[in-house]
Structure 1
């Protein structure tokens, strides 16, 4: 695929596939979940609060797409055992997992390293790096049961070239790139699993609004405009593409 930004997915791209998406409460995760469902996937909707997941569930059902599932999960608090329990539940319900998309993100503020609180640093790394590792590791046996599995980590430009005041979030996103590359290398021999990262760019999101409260969000592009890029990495058109930072 030479230009992922212009990819147009066929209507049945993800038919009969089970896709887990984290961070569905915010705009990027929600856009990915809705787009995956619209293209035939059974989507497992995950975020911290059940109340944030129910409207997305209702939208998918109302549109007549495959019935989704809801998975409340607090990435900051979940134990290692809970992640394995989630994988067990997915295995019992679906027997496999065809795609895992990490869209959850957290940053409490922008700050100099001098002033960054140690507890806040630990939580940011936990949500943005450690939890994606734990969830991916727990789900690997299920992913290996799928014919054409894919893992997509949401990246960020500050995780490829750091900028002042992004502190722990930048460090975590640099770590995500390393995690992606290591897992891609480790799973490359079979030729089935694809592991990539995608920087969606600056879009309208709750995280962006929180960090830039003086910015007019209506001047930013909608997250729906980048959903097809995730679909490309989840669908069969990207077979053989792994270890890439898009």
Structure 2
């Protein structure tokens, strides 16, 4: 394989795997969930809007892919017990977890640090990093039961180099990178779990259109066009890849 960006996933890449995707109702999360299901995975759809999750569930079912599961949760208000309850449900239903895609995040208001309201700041941090920490911690025991488990943290270019007026979002993505690196180093060679971060880049999604309202959205690739790397990192080809920061669109 010349590059993970051109990875051609076998049709049965994720057969018998259970993969949880946050923010699965829209955008990249929706596309990733359907893509994983198309490659044989049982996908757990996590998000706050039940109607959107049900639409993704129906699309997976109508395509004849493995039956998905829906678990509504509001990351902005959930506490540790909520994530432990989720883990208990998954253990009862599936026994283990083979993949976790941390996709859900919010942009928040694009303001200078000086103008950022503290409540807005805390909301972005709660959803973009605190929820990731709590969900990951709750699910690690289930992932330890897998022979080959992968955690993908969604990053951003502004989480690798800060940029003016990206405020809480940028800082939350720096924290995401730090969480990924720390966890990857802790698990290292002692676990079957690998952790990597993935920056989707400019993609034609609602969040991107909100961040760049003057941009021509059709100039950016659709989520489906950046799925090769999402499949590579979730499948066996990346089994020995740990602690790395990837860009879905090569520069």
TM over 0.5: yes
> TM-score, with normalisation over the residues of structure 1?
0.97
Q: Find the aligned partners of 1:139 and 1:191 in 2 and give their Cα distance.
A: 14
Decide whether the 8 Å contact of 2:129 with 2:175 is kept in 1: yes
- Residue 31 of structure 1 deviates from its aligned partner by 1.0
> How many residues are treated as equivalent by the alignment?
246
- Residue 2 of structure 1 deviates from its aligned partner by 5.1
* 1:14 matched to 2:14: yes
Find the counterpart in structure 2 of residue 23 from structure 1.
23
Decide whether the 8 Å contact of 2:34 with 2:56 is kept in 1: yes
Find the counterpart in structure 1 of residue 98 from structure 2.
98
Find the counterpart in structure 2 of residue 162 from structure 1.
162
Find the counterpart in structure 2 of residue 145 from structure 1.
145
Decide whether the 8 Å contact of 2:109 with 2:120 is kept in 1: no
Local SS of the residue matching 1:187: helix
* 1:177 matched to 2:177: yes
Local SS of the residue matching 1:188: helix
- Residue 219 of structure 1 deviates from its aligned partner by 2.3
Unaligned runs of 5+ in 1: none
Find the counterpart in structure 2 of residue 238 from structure 1.
238
Find the counterpart in structure 1 of residue 130 from structure 2.
130
> TM-score, with normalisation over the residues of structure 2?
0.96
Local SS of the residue matching 1:198: strand
Moved over 6 A (4+): none
Q: Find the aligned partners of 2:25 and 2:109 in 1 and give their Cα distance.
A: 19
Find the counterpart in structure 1 of residue 110 from structure 2.
110
Q: Find the aligned partners of 1:103 and 1:145 in 2 and give their Cα distance.
A: 23
Q: Find the aligned partners of 2:133 and 2:191 in 1 and give their Cα distance.
A: 21
Find the counterpart in structure 1 of residue 62 from structure 2.
62
Find the counterpart in structure 1 of residue 75 from structure 2.
75
- Residue 150 of structure 1 deviates from its aligned partner by 0.6
Decide whether the 8 Å contact of 2:108 with 2:169 is kept in 1: no
Q: Find the aligned partners of 2:228 and 2:73 in 1 and give their Cα distance.
A: 25
Local SS of the residue matching 2:180: helix
1:49-95, Cα deviation, whole Å (9 max, x unpaired): 10111111011000100000001111100011101110111011100
Find the counterpart in structure 1 of residue 249 from structure 2.
none
- Residue 191 of structure 1 deviates from its aligned partner by 4.8
Find the counterpart in structure 2 of residue 219 from structure 1.
219
Local SS of the residue matching 1:163: coil
